[in-house]
Amino acid sequence: MAEDTDALVAMTRILSPYCRVTRMSDGALIADWRRTRFLGVPSADVGKFADGVSEERAEIVTGLIRAGCATSRGRQQSDIAVGLWLRGAYLLIRAMGFGRALRLLSLAAPEYARADPAVTEDVERLKRAVQSHGRRSWLVNDDCKAEAVTAFVLLRRRGLKAVLHVGVREHPFALHAWTSSAGLCIPDADPRGHRFVPVLSVGGGGQ
């Protein structure tokens, strides 16, 4: 019973948010509420999510992607692409203001993206790229808002879990933004040792 529960949890993790999985006596039933259709998964395939080899799991995931019940994970962005996204985020924030730019995040990083746990190494690589471009660019010049928005969008577009935070410090008063994922923050949540209390979080709850 515990193995079946673990298998259903693993299956749910790769499904699109509008799909729901229910355990049945002979397997599982996936309800696709966007297309108003149902997909049956036999017990043997459900079991492969708990104790099957990686090749078997990959075959099932491919089938779910083809059926439209799961989204394929996007490729990691190149270093050049990270720089372009960072400059674009900075110009958007300057043109529209930070608050309005945050409202557009649902378009750039849609909710239907699969929310898988991020791998620490991937987030570390993205952090190095974002901060490197931020320091080298005279336009961005280490702007925390642009770096946080860029990291949030790029992680979410890959279907990975990420939360963008906006924090405040009272003495002296200052605002700071950062994105957290896999236990890391882009940029650092406490720059130069100053602690910022989060007052707004975007993308929580696995969205």
Assess whether 33 and 98 both reside in one domain.
Answer: no
Domain that holds residue 21: 2-66
In tens, the pLDDT along 3-34 reads: 556 777 777 777 777 788 888 888 888 888 77
How many domains does the chain contain in total?
A: 2
Can you read off the two tokens belonging to residue 116?
Answer: 């898988």
* Cα 187 from Cα 70, distance rounded (Å): 31
Assess whether 50 and 93 both reside in one domain.
Answer: no
Note whether residue 71 is domain-resident.
no
Assess whether 185 and 86 both reside in one domain.
Answer: yes
Assess whether 101 and 136 both reside in one domain.
Answer: yes
Q: What's the pLDDT at 74? A: 60
* Cα 201 from Cα 156, distance rounded (Å): 14
Indicate the DSSP class of residue 36.
Answer: T
9, 17 Cβ separation under 8 angstroms: no
* Cα 1 from Cα 70, distance rounded (Å): 25
Q: Which residues contact 19 (CB under 8 A, 6 or more apart)?
A: 30, 31, 32, 33, 34, 69, 70
Note whether residue 168 is domain-resident.
yes
Q: What's the pLDDT at 12? A: 74
Assess whether 23 and 122 both reside in one domain.
Answer: no
37 phi and psi angles, rounded to 5 deg: -145, 165
Note whether residue 191 is domain-resident.
yes
Note whether residue 207 is domain-resident.
no
Note whether residue 73 is domain-resident.
no
Assess whether 22 and 103 both reside in one domain.
Answer: no
Beta bridge partner(s), residue 174? 169
Q: Quick count: other Cβ atoms within 10 Å of Cβ 175?
A: 13
Which of 12, 39, 66 is the endpoint of a domain?
66
Assess whether 9 and 83 both reside in one domain.
Answer: no
Stretches where the chain sits below pLDDT 70 are 1-5, 50-54, 71-75, 110-116, 204-207
Q: What's the pLDDT at 158? A: 80
Cα 121 versus chain centre, distance = 15
102, 163 Cβ separation under 8 angstroms: no
